[in-house]
Every structure is written in C-alpha cells, then in structure tokens.
Chain A
Amino acid sequence: MAIRQPSLLRRVAGEESAVRRMDGLMLVAVAGLCVIGTLLVWSSTRTWAPGSTGLVKKHLLNEAIGVVLCGIVAMVDHRAMRAYAPLVFLVSLIGLGLVLTPLGATINGSHSWILLGGGFAVQPSEFAKVGLLLVIAMLLAQPAEGTDRPRGLDLALALIAALITMGLVMLQPDLGTAMVLAVITASGLILAGVRKRWIGALTLVAGAGVFSVFYFQLLEPYQVARFTAFVDPNVDPRGVGYNSTQSLIAIGSGQLLGKGLLGGGQTTGRFVPEQHTDFIFTVAGEEFGFLGSVTVVLLLGVVLLRGLQIARKCEDRFGTLVAGMIVCWFAFQTFINVGMTIGIMPITGLPLPFVSYGGTATFANLIAIGLLQAIKMRRQSF
C-alpha cells in the first residue's frame, strides 16, 4: 500500500496545520464589522431608489472577493511575501500612475479611480497602502551589521518609496490617503528602531513641509476649509461645517439605544453626505445608538489589539513590522474616521475599515487581515 497522503482536510485543519493557529477572535471581529457594515450600507443606500436594496449586493460581492483575497494571502508564508514586496509596490505605483492618465476617473471630487467597466472601478491608492507597507517593511527589516537599527541606505530607500507614493496620491489629490501613507511610513520607521534624533529631524522636515503647504497655499481651498471648519463647525453651516454638524446631530440623536435599523430619520433624509462611505459611522450612531457605535469601536479595537499581539509574538522583524504598520494604519483610519463624525477630528475623506462601502478599500483591508493571519500562523522563526 502506498503511504496515505494526509487528506487535504487534515492538511488544512489538522492539529499540526497552520490554520489551527489562525487568530479566531480577530476573524470574528472582522466578520462582525463586515456584517454591521453590510446592514449600514443597506440602511443608508436603500433610499436611493424606492424599493431597492441599494448597494448591498455589490457590497456583499466586494466582501466575498475580499474574503477570498484574504484567504489567499493568509496561505502565503509572509516571509515569501517579502520577496514579492517590490513587485507589489511596483504594481501599486503603476496603478497610481494610471490614475493620472486618461484612464483615471474622478468620483466625488477625487481623481483616484480607474474604471473597469460594468460599474466597477478600482482605487489604486488603497492598494498602494499595502504596497508601500510591504516595501518599507522589507527595506527596514534587515538591520545594519551588529545593530538592531536599519541601515541608512535602506532608510533612504524607504523614504524615497514613501515620497513617490505620497506624491502620486497628492496629485489626485487625496489628502486623506496621503496622510495614511505618512502614518504607515512613520510607524515603520519608529518600529524599525530608527534613531530618535533622526525621527525628530524627519518630523521637523515634515512639519516644515506642512507649514509651507499652508503658507504657499498649495492645498485646494476646500481642504483648507475643512480644517478651518473643524476648529469652528458653525463658521459655515451650509458648507463644510454642515457635514460636521449634521453628523453630530445624527449620532447624538441616536442616544443610548438608537432608533433601530432603518429607523434613523437623519439617515433616511440623507442629511449627512457620503453616509455609506466616509460617514457610515453616523448611521451606526443614529440607528444603533451608543451601545451599537461603541460595539463598532470595540470590534475595531479587538482587531487592533489582536494585531498588536501578533506583532509582538512574531519572531522575525519583517512580520513584526508588517503587523505593527497594519495596526497603525487601521488605528489611524479608525480614529480619524470616527473622530471626524463626533467632532474631535477634522473632516477627512477616509473610509472606516471593514464597515464603509468601497470595493478596493474592502479588498485592501481584508488583504491586510490576511497578512496578519499569515504572520500569526507562521510566527516561529526557523
């Protein structure tokens, strides 16, 4: 008799298999967020046409594709991913470049899209987050001889990669994504052990950059207006401050228990703009109340804390860096997104991870989860 090959099932789910070491809690949290997101997308888009289910079907399709991508990524050994990193980065740069060609399309004032036909479009800047993250991790994972700090050349390369990516994104222009990319880069540098004085110097340079952007009026007027409106939302109640005020009203009126799914009058009346994407948290706040919105925050917290746990338990620098950068990415996006809807952060066009509608973002987020799972499953060094 031939030696029985372990069945596929056993190989995947057996005691020795990596699947057993998946982070179940994180997956449950992500699944919960996806379910809540689907409900909220339904609630906020069903009013677009009478009797329709809005974007629910498309959202479910996006999530299904995302889950498949997540699974595929999780199957790959993350150390092998290190080899693919330059490739992934290059592809995302090409994507960002294509956006600037006639292939690119403008949706909601942001020239960030490539239309694929059939009503589908991709947003390369979302993939760019993953691409940049991987390439920075790859560069900084290798410490200089005899130290645990990255080499100067690698650091320079990482900064160049980040600047190119951010520059392309700013050409769209998409300030929110550029900020996420900056946070990803910064978190990579910090976690990789770059010297504090270097980090301080870079912070100064970045600060000077931001100052000159304002000083030489390089930003679009609407972007400046968003920041001014954040300082005082009543400055222009019809303009940007309107969004801020309306989202506060929607969330606040949800009170403790909320008005129930589909029961939100502010949502039904579509007083908050972009309430299926950037402002989806307002729907959660209004319809599910404090308990519901805190649940969303806590589920995101579970993802972040489990991600941190993965980063800490991982025994190779690349895995730790990737996991840590992903956590920073999600943490930043969560805090900015939720914060802007409750008036503690400026209005910035960033989706809420796993909850907001948006195909490319959903893919990118679930790919990141796949990465985290891959790192968790193979955390031991060989």
Chain B
Amino acid sequence: MIRMRARLLVLHVLVLTLLAVLTVRLWQVQVVRGQEFVTRATETRTRAVLVPAVRGQILDSRGRPLVRNKTALVVSVDRARLTRLPDGGKEVLGKLSAVLGKPVAQLQQRITPCGPGVSKPCWTGSPYQPVPLDEKVDTREALQILERQEEFPGVTAEIHSVRQYPGGRAGAQMLGYLQPVTEAELEKREGLKASFSGVDLVGRDGLEYVYDDALRGKSGLRRVQVDRMGKALGLEEQITPVPGDHLVTSIDSRVQDVVEKALAKAMKSAPAADGGAGVVLDARTGRVVAIASAPGYDPAIWAGGISTRGYQWLLSDKSGKPLVSRAINGQFAPGSTFKISSVTAMLRSGYPLNGTYGCPGSVMVGGRAFNNFRGIGLGSMNLHTALVKSCDTIFYQAAYTQYLKDGGRNPKKAPKEVFANTARAFGFGERTGVDLPGESSGRIPDRAWKKDLWNRTSAINCERSRKGYPEVKDKARADFLKRLALENCTEGFLLRPGDSANFSIGQGDVLVTPMQLARAYMALVSDGKLRSPRIGWAQVRPDGKVVKTIEVPVVGKLPLSEKERLYIKNALSQVPQDGTAAGAFAGWPMDKIRIGGKTGTAEVWGKQDTSWFASFAPTNKPQYVVVVMVSQGGMGAQTAAPAVREIYEGIYGIKQPQAVPGGRLTTRLPRFSPDGTVARG
C-alpha cells in the first residue's frame, strides 16, 4: 500500500500540473490573444456584401446627359466558390451557358484571371471578386438563376447600373470608359479596397478617369451574419451607399455633334486623311465647349466587358487607333498658325510694330534658299499684311537674324532664343493641363533639345554614317540617308540656320497639339492670359447641391502689350475675308458675324500636309475659339478651314439648325431640382 500511495502522490502532482497547464493556456487564448480571435471571429461569422454606389452622370453645360446610367440585370460568378465545387464548377458553367446562350468556353475564359498566357477576354479584376458575365440579361433569364439558387451556387443576378452614352460616338475619347478595378490598382490606391465592390468599375480614361473619385461615390456595405454553410442568419451592419456626384461639364452636346460631323466630313473630303481633331473653347472663360477626335468609336463597346477582337481593333492601325484623342495627344507641326508666336518674337526682338518689311520670294538662310509659298514675292508690307497673306520670308529673315545674334553655329554662353522662348510663353512645349489624362506636351526644338537628341542618337547616327544603309534598295536614297547620318553624327547637337528658319513658320521639328493651339489663340483673342482649359465645370450632388465649381486656372501671360495683341488679333480678323482662308469663307455673312483665324499647312516628310485652321468669332468680342486639324488633310484652307466654317454654321444656325440658342453659350450652371433632375427652361 505504501508504494501505491507514493504513486498516487505522483498522480496528484500530475493532475495539478495538467490543471495549471489548461488554466494558463486558457488565459493565453482568451485574455491575452482574445482581441485577435474576436477579429477573426467577426471575419468568419460575417460576410461583407458591398453595395455599389450609383455612379454620377456626366452632363453637358445645359444639363443634358453625356453619360448616364441605365439599370441592368447583371449575372456575376463568384469564381472562388465555383472552384471549390467538386467538379471545379463545370456543371454550373454548363447550365449557365444554356441559360445565357453563350458557349461554355467563352464563360470559362471570362472568369479566368488575366495573366501570362491568358488572353482577353480574361478577368482583369481581383480573383476574389465576383466576375460579371453578362450585363444584358433579361428578367426571365435572371429569374431562372435566382429561383434555382441551389443549382447555381456562386452565381448571382443583381441589378446594377450600366453606363449609357446618349451621344453615341460623340466625344468618346473625352468621356473615357470604365473597366473593372485591378488588383494592382487596389493595392496602389489607399482606401480604394474598402470602397470597391466586386463588380465595381474604375474610370480608365477621359473624364471618367480624372473625376473618378467624385463620380464613384461611396459603396455601401451590408454585413450579414452567416452560419458555417454560408446561410444568412441576419443583418449585422448596414451602411447605405452614397451615390456619386454628377459632373457638369462645359461641353455643349449640340456643338459637340456639330464638330464631330464637320470633322467626319473633312476626313472624307481629304482622301489621305488619317486623323483629325476639333477643339472649341469658350473664349471668355477658357472652358472647353467641344472636343472631338477622328476616327472615333462607340464607347458602348466597353459595357459588359470588351471582346478580344474589339479590343485589338481599337488598338490596331487599321482602325486608326480611335482610342487616342488627337485633340490632346496628336502632335503635329503647326504650320503658319504658329506665326502668332513668331510675330510676337519679332516684336520682342525689337522689330517695330508699324515697320515695313520686304517679303521677297526667297531668302538665303545659312547658304540655302528658303522660299515663300510657291516662291512668290509679295513686295513690301507691314506685319498685318504679313499675317493676312501669310508671308514666310519675313519670318525666315527675322528668325535667322536672331539665330545669328545668339552666335549661330557657335552659340553664346546664354543664348536668348527669343523665338523658342516666345513659343513657350504661348504655352507650346508643355501640357495645357486640361482635365484629361495622358496629354502630350508637344515640342519646342531649341538648342538644348537638339543637344539632348544628339546625346541620345549620336551613337546610332555615327555607326550609320560608317556602315550606311545596305538594307535600303534605292541607291540614291541610301546615299542621302548616309550623308544625313554623317551630318547628324558630327554636328547634330547644333541648331542649324535652317532649323531656326523652319521653326519660325511652324515647320520642321516643332510639334503642337490642337488643344495647345486653341488655348494659345484663346489667350491672344481674349485678354492675353494663358489658361489651363477645363472640361469639368462643377461637381453636383445627386440632390442638386453644387459641391464644387471647377475654376479655369490662369497659368501665364502672353509677352504682348495690349496694343500689340489687338494689332495681331485685327490682322487675323481679316484672314477669312481677304487672306488665305477667303475661299473657304466665301459667302459667309461677315457683316453679321465676323470670323478671324489663321490657316496652317505643315509639311510632313513622306506624307501629305497637315491641314490646320485656328479661328475665333465674333472678332470684336470673341466667344468661340475653334481649331480644326486634319492629319494628311492637305492645305489648311482646303480641308480644315471649311470644317471650321461648318462648325460656325452649326453654332450660329446658318444653313442648319442653330446648336447654341442665339449663338451665345450659357454662363450659368444648369439648375437642378431637389430630386436631382435638371430643371429645363
């Protein structure tokens, strides 16, 4: 019995130890780490169902919708749930394909996350989000799914709002499009993760991108308590979604239509034309009234996920890359429209405003003859006539003189570069800052740019200058290219005399975007101030309250006195009547609505000329600045000017319905009723 007692004592100690172990461990789990498990319990016990907020509309200046929402039944698939099924969801997809009338393979592809070796239309969003499979489901199809949920695990049919474009193709590049948010974007943008639901889309281009935060609103949340099987037990938390703000733009949808039509017609009239752009600014405010780019496309293609072929087509040369907005991305030599900058540069170089200048048929620049258009000499003239008749030689001479003053081929330490710097003051060579993404900055080919280019390319040029161009069949051409390479290799860093001459008439390496040209003309004809144009005018809450008015910032001032500015403006005011655009504006009622402007015909090596017309109206108190550019469109007076005339005809209601009542743009924001609808009248 003694041995037994001793062993019982050991047992006693053992039991006490075990009890202590359990108590300590319980303390650790429940008290020390309790909070951690509370969090994990909430995660397992509840499902957060995000309720997407209705995206704000995009409206024109009179409250007409440019982009609105229509409700649609959207069928989505929760891929995570599908893959957990014993057969990986094959059966469900099969049934779904029967209901939706789409092949299984296509559905399978749509829900596969994009990645290496996975081609469109794959799923670009998070693998944990439900994938919208069909956004054009009718009620009957939706009911088939909803009423037999047990046969369609992981499949939901819900009402969502889908973007709709009442204007069709009009302004597609400006409006932009929506695409499902990607994992990378979720990671990058703070707070985005919480506010996005599975089918949430994010603005990818245009206004949808720039004003995404305002338009998107805030997703709501329904935190539902669920059991182990995912069956809902009750609602634990509900946050109602906050609908996004409407974006009122300064776009006038009717003017936009007019511009689109005029552009399309101009493209048709010039057989080689491969792209065009039209920009209409409100000359008083710097707001954008219309912005168009051709070729265009129908933004409805984005709704419901784009097909592989559709996406490839948008990116292809065949379609002319309609996604690219030529108005802000198209960079072209501006031709004579650039002379507003060059004439200012002359004034700043000390040339008198009222001086008389000779306009010979050609001038020698750096040992090479530079000709007027068709080599015709126009005799002596003042600067006014030089602009109206678009004399080139006056500008060649002035630019070459300044080039020599800067030291020519052996530049001074701090060259003045008056022509280049004046161009900068007109806003060329830098982004206008318009509220659209991906704008191009154009190019001012000054001495620094030359040097930079040489640094980047001299190695290739020097190699070519030794080895030549054996792959080029044409012997003469190969020789020419070899000589060019040698020249670029040895002195490519130098601004040559010819470069300066070409620059003065907007030829050569100088590139501008239609938007840059439009705002430069706007500054010239309004108050001499350079502005950063805006399309967005105001953010308006769905209940009609204006949250924010978007101002048009002044970003610079033209280097012109008021007198000089008006002198140039007056000269331009005569162009459509007596100057280079007289033909295009023949028969226009100049006594009633006088239009000013400047043609531009920029030579592009190996291609047709770029056709430009920059204009404003009415000349005494300009309301509109209209710029049209047609790439490979020929002469400015031939293609762009008639398109501009057609735009004015639309605006003022000449030979066609008047797009703008009284020809006058609205200056007030549209009024909203408290229910959020636009009050008409």
B30 within 8 A of A: yes
A2 to B25, CA, bound (A): 65
Q: Within 8 Å CB of B592, what residues of A?
A: none
**Chain A: minimal CB distance from B329 (Å):** 50
A256 pairs with B7, CB closer than 8 A: no
A297 within 8 A of B: yes
A308 pairs with B22, CB closer than 8 A: no
Contact partner of B29 (CB less than 8 A), chosen from A251, A297, A301, A312, is A251
A342 to B225, CA, bound (A): 24
B228 pairs with A254, CB closer than 8 A: no
A342 pairs with B25, CB closer than 8 A: yes
A255 to B26, CA, bound (A): 9
Contact partner of B44 (CB less than 8 A), chosen from A187, A266, A321, A338, is A266
A193 within 8 A of B: yes
A320 pairs with B8, CB closer than 8 A: yes
Contact partner of B4 (CB less than 8 A), chosen from A255, A308, A317, is A317
B15 pairs with A331, CB closer than 8 A: yes
Known: A269-B228, A308-B11, A339-B22. A148 touches B29 (CB 8 A): no
A254 pairs with B45, CB closer than 8 A: no
Q: How many residues of B contact A (CB 8 A)?
A: 38
Contact partner of B30 (CB less than 8 A), chosen from A289, A300, A315, is A289
Known: A252-B36, A254-B34. A342 touches B26 (CB 8 A): yes
Q: Within 8 Å CB of B45, what residues of A?
A: 265-266, 269, 271
A249 pairs with B37, CB closer than 8 A: yes
Which A267-320 residues have C-beta < 8 A from chain B?
Answer: 268-271, 285, 289-290, 293-294, 297-298, 300-301, 304-305, 308, 311-312, 315, 317, 320
B236 and chain A: residue at smallest CB distance: A265
Known: A252-B37, A271-B228, A308-B12. A293 touches B233 (CB 8 A): no
Which A244-272 residues have C-beta < 8 A from chain B?
Answer: 246, 248-256, 265-266, 268-271
Which B1-52 residues have C-beta < 8 A from chain A?
Answer: 1-5, 7-8, 11-12, 14-16, 18-19, 21-23, 25-27, 29-31, 33-38, 40-41, 44-45
A91 within 8 A of B: no
A269 to B41, CA, bound (A): 11
A315 to B26, CA, bound (A): 37
**Chain B: minimal CB distance from A75 (Å):** 26
* Interface size bracket, A side: 35 or more
Q: Within 8 Å CB of A315, what residues of B?
A: 1
A312 to B9, CA, bound (A): 9
- B15, B21, B27, B33: most-surrounded residue (chain A CB, <10 A): B15
A252 pairs with B225, CB closer than 8 A: no
B27 pairs with A320, CB closer than 8 A: no
A269 pairs with B233, CB closer than 8 A: yes
A254 pairs with B4, CB closer than 8 A: no
A297 pairs with B31, CB closer than 8 A: no
A311 and chain B: residue at smallest CB distance: B8
A375 within 8 A of B: no
**Chain B: minimal CB distance from A186 (Å):** 12
B227 within 8 A of A: yes
B26 pairs with A285, CB closer than 8 A: yes
A338 and chain B: residue at smallest CB distance: B22
Q: Within 8 Å CB of B14, what residues of A?
A: 331
A234 to B226, CA, bound (A): 22
A328 within 8 A of B: yes
A343 to B33, CA, bound (A): 13
A192 to B227, CA, bound (A): 51
Contact partner of B225 (CB less than 8 A), chosen from A269, A270, A290, A300, is A269
A378 to B538, CA, bound (A): 95
B2 and chain A: residue at smallest CB distance: A148
Q: Within 8 Å CB of B11, what residues of A?
A: 187, 191, 308, 324, 327-328
A290 pairs with B4, CB closer than 8 A: no
A335 within 8 A of B: yes
A190 within 8 A of B: yes
A248 pairs with B29, CB closer than 8 A: yes
A160 within 8 A of B: no
A260 to B40, CA, bound (A): 19
B15 pairs with A308, CB closer than 8 A: yes
Q: Within 8 Å CB of A248, what residues of B?
A: 29, 37
**Chain A: minimal CB distance from B563 (Å):** 80
Q: Within 8 Å CB of A338, what residues of B?
A: 22
A191 to B35, CA, bound (A): 44
A344 within 8 A of B: yes
Contact partner of B19 (CB less than 8 A), chosen from A190, A297, A327, is A297
Q: Within 8 Å CB of A265, what residues of B?
A: 41, 45, 225
A344 to B25, CA, bound (A): 8
B26 pairs with A192, CB closer than 8 A: no
A290 pairs with B27, CB closer than 8 A: yes
A190 pairs with B40, CB closer than 8 A: no
A293 pairs with B30, CB closer than 8 A: yes
A268 pairs with B23, CB closer than 8 A: no
**Chain B: minimal CB distance from A188 (Å):** 11
Q: Within 8 Å CB of A256, what residues of B?
A: 30-31, 34
Known: A285-B26, A289-B30, A297-B23. A253 touches B228 (CB 8 A): no
**Chain A: minimal CB distance from B5 (Å):** 6
**Chain A: minimal CB distance from B588 (Å):** 77
B8 pairs with A312, CB closer than 8 A: yes
A155 to B34, CA, bound (A): 49
A317 pairs with B1, CB closer than 8 A: yes
Which B455-477 residues have C-beta < 8 A from chain A?
Answer: none
- A190, A285, A290, A328: most-surrounded residue (chain B CB, <10 A): A290
B4 pairs with A148, CB closer than 8 A: yes
Q: Within 8 Å CB of B233, what residues of A?
A: 268-269
A270 and chain B: residue at smallest CB distance: B228
Known: A249-B40, A251-B37, A269-B45. A335 touches B30 (CB 8 A): no
A187 and chain B: residue at smallest CB distance: B11
A294 pairs with B228, CB closer than 8 A: no
A285 to B29, CA, bound (A): 10
A266 to B227, CA, bound (A): 8
Contact partner of A266 (CB less than 8 A), chosen from B30, B35, B41, is B41
Q: Within 8 Å CB of B37, what residues of A?
A: 248-249, 251-253
30 contacts between A and B (CB under 8 A): A148-B1, A187-B11, A191-B4, A192-B4, A246-B44, A250-B41, A253-B38, A255-B30, A255-B34, A255-B35, A265-B45, A268-B233, A269-B45, A269-B227, A270-B228, A271-B227, A285-B26, A290-B26, A294-B23, A298-B23, A301-B19, A305-B15, A308-B11, A317-B4, A327-B11, A327-B15, A334-B22, A335-B18, A339-B21, A343-B25
Which 5 A-B residue pairs are closest in the complex by CB-CB distance?
A252-B37, A255-B34, A253-B41, A290-B30, A269-B227
For the A-B complex with A304-B19, A334-B22, A342-B25 known, give 15 more contacts whose Cβ atoms are closer than 8 Å.
Answer: A191-B8, A192-B4, A248-B29, A248-B37, A249-B40, A252-B30, A255-B31, A271-B44, A271-B227, A297-B19, A305-B16, A312-B5, A317-B1, A328-B11, A339-B22
